[in-house]
Structure 1
């Protein structure tokens, strides 16, 4: 049995994983969703990127979890990738769901990425917080109006420090047992840094025919991907 630890992306709390958690538990697995500091019900807590990494590691150690499958969506791939390198033999696999991956010494809002300037500007204009996007920005991502409403109802501004603080890698991402889930409505190809990692022996690519928020648009299918990627014998 695996212990799945699921971490939401920007603006969102643990409840976004509810449907996926239910599917994993129904399949006989343990599943724990984690809200990062500074978000949702933890919005009052100070939070930079390293606080997010520590929150993931601390939760795994507090629960004394083994056979951990760390799952990070979107932004949270950045702290999850770092945490995966810090939990040693507790880790069974890390799964990046349409996620960013960390680069040592670089922030999430990396100037090498095209969206970075807009993120930094938004944080500056909103007193240190990255505001959730308007509903129209979710168009074309395979979401119903009801699903968009659910997503935004739980969204809170994202702490800017977590976007500008640099990543600290305590090892090589290329050596992690990892899967990358590419959601095709959000672009058919992973980013170049992910493509490079997928060229190694330890990483696998999975494609889903849905948008960037599969925990809303295809939770059952996403749970099946997670189960398949961590099934005995998959390596």
Structure 2
């Protein structure tokens, strides 16, 4: 018999598991839905201060109550924040746990507090300051593995304040009914279930978010399964793309004991599709699921394979975080700045400005008589868009200051995950910006990013005026990304923005380094012709 121990996320209790638990029980499993101290059950005098250790102890108590004789296997399921006490407890009872299921939850590492998974940096820092009496410091990123898992936000920004004295003894008020989407997509959740979720929500003890998770490493040997909710922005394809960047910290996701499932729903599958979730949990317990592909020593990751076009081998000139590919023509020349996507793990090597796609585009542009520019920016996690945007703006100013560049004729070309940064330029395009291009872009923050800030191109395009936009749209795009492109294009049409779409019906995300086709080559030629026409006229 499988024994499922189900651990809820922020603001919630055991009640969220009722329908899923009933289905697991009907299938012959034993089920324990954990009521965490604070949100799920009242604290007593002995637990006046509730922190992550308190919740780890809550999960340990349930584990220790289970008789694992006669082949009974324990499967721990952590949803959202619940993965933190799950991993903490599994680290202390690794020999008793058959599998951990990360239900739309990341992979928190030793020393990282749950608050670090909140993508909204302003909220994260504000809560840390209030809880520590003004000393911020819980704002470290989730780490590469947590970002790559991409399976949900521990918290995604809210206007609720922490209350109570400093030191992590305060509480975070639960969201109002219309604020739940900022903590994860509510796609698929019936109105009645959302009403009940709101009515039963309880304040989250701040100490549970601020106290760092402490792991010995024993948990790493426990098999695991990630259940990705595509309606919340996660997918197996996106995780595989992150793994392919080559960061050693992510290679654990390709291990033989790690599997993945997808559910076509939002962040609350126990409320939106409890029967389907129960089926996935039973399959996960049996060791089923998709396994990620590890890049072998002799295998080149897709993003490092050769560019699909033969371009001139022009030399580069490196200055700081930018590379210039200079044409043979004399005098100040127009420039095209190519902005890589992401998030890219900080340890990924080579860095993006040396990736064949970016180098290929820059050399292609230089071969046509303009200055091609690649750069590195610091988009290492979804919380980094502010500093990445600042890096791009600073790099552009350095390019414009170069005497070999015509400062009044510059185009910016964004790829993939850098798409949200286009909002800055669409919202207030400078006179020297002659064209903005975007290739297979992410044109809105994905739901599990929890971003409520300025990086929303669909909102900004109304202010683009006559700025020409060239958007390359691939027909075989990741559905979660394709939806953001369609949202942007609809907004652009509504306001009459000048957007030319280069369609690549059979193109994949990152098609330039896959097996080339004539369709793909022509798409690159067409996009480049349009951009150069705007920047050289």
> What TM-score results when the alignment is normalised by the length of structure 1?
0.89
Q: What secondary structure sits across from 2:112 in the alignment?
A: coil
- Counterpart of 2:411 in structure 1 is none
2:94 touches 2:219 (CA, 8 Å); kept in 1? no
C-alpha separation in 2, matches of 1:197 and 1:147: 36
1:135 aligns with 177
1:100 — aligned with what?
106
1:20-41 CA-partner distances (Å, limit 9, x unpaired): 1100010011001011111133
Q: 1:172 to 1:196 in 2, by over 3 A?
A: farther
> Is the partner of 1:42 in helix, strand or coil?
coil
2:278 aligns with one of 209, 223, 232? 223
Is 2:154 the partner of 1:118? no
Do the aligned partners of residues 186 and 2 (structure 1) sit closer, same or farther apart at CA in structure 2, a change above 3 Å counting? same
Mapped contact 2:162–2:206 kept (Cα < 8 A): no
The 2-side partners of 1:67 and 1:200 are apart by 21
Distance 1:214 1:234 in 2: 19
Is 1:51 the equivalent of 2:57?
A: no
CA RMSD of aligned residues (A): 2.4
Following superposition, the deviation at residue 51 of structure 1 comes to: 1.2
Are the aligned partners of 1:94 and 1:179 in contact in 2 as well (CA < 8 Å)? Answer: yes
Name the structure 2 match of 1:207.
262
Q: Aligned residue for 1:8?
A: 8
Q: Max radius of gyration: which structure?
A: 2
Is the contact made by 1:174 and 1:202 (CA closer than 8 Å) also made in structure 2? no
User: What does 1:1-235 correspond to in 2, within 5 Å?
Assistant: 1-43=1-43, 45=47, 46-65=49-68, 66-110=72-116, 114-115=119-120, 117-119=122-124, 121-122=126-127, 124=130, 125-127=161-163, 128-138=170-180, 141-171=187-217, 173-189=219-235, 196-231=251-286, 234=288
Shift of 1:131: 1.7
Structure 2 alignment gaps of length 5 or more: 131-160, 164-169, 244-248, 290-537
1-structure distance, mates of 2:90, 2:66: 16
2:199 and 2:208 mapped to 1: Cα distance? 22
2-side partners of 1:219 and 1:71: how far apart?
Answer: 14
SS of the residue aligned with 1:23? helix
Distance in 2, matches of 1:103 and 1:117, equals 22
Contact kept, 8 Å, 1:130 with 1:157, in 2: the verdict is: yes
Aligned length: 233
- Matched-pair contact (CA < 8 Å) for 2:5–2:76: yes
Q: Distance in 2 between matches of 1:142 and 1:43?
A: 33
Bigger relative contact order (CA 8 A; separation at least 6): 1
> How has the CA–CA distance of structure 1 residues 122 and 146 changed in structure 2, closer, same or farther, with 3 Å as cutoff?
farther
Q: Distance in 2 between matches of 1:164 and 1:16?
A: 24
TM-score, normalised via structure 2 length? 0.41
In 1, distance between residues paired with 2:125 and 2:2?
38
Query: Structure 2 CA distance, aligned partners of 1:100 and 1:53?
Result: 17
Q: Which residue of 1 aligns with 2:362?
A: none
1:201 and 1:174, CA in 2 relative to 1: closer, same or farther beyond 3 A? Answer: farther
User: What corresponds to 2:446 in structure 1?
Assistant: none
Give, in whole Å, the separation in 1 of the partners of 2:5 and 2:285: 13
Rounded to whole Å, the distance in 2 between the matches of 1:120 and 1:40 is 26
**1:120 CA drift (Å):** 5.1
Tell me, in whole angstroms, the C-alpha distance in 2 between the residues paired with 1:197 and 1:113. Answer: 23
Contact 1:122 1:129 in 2 (8 A): no
Moved more, 171-180 or 4-13: 171-180
Q: Measure, in 2, the Cα distance between the counterparts of 1:119 and 1:129.
A: 14
> 1:12: how far off?
0.6
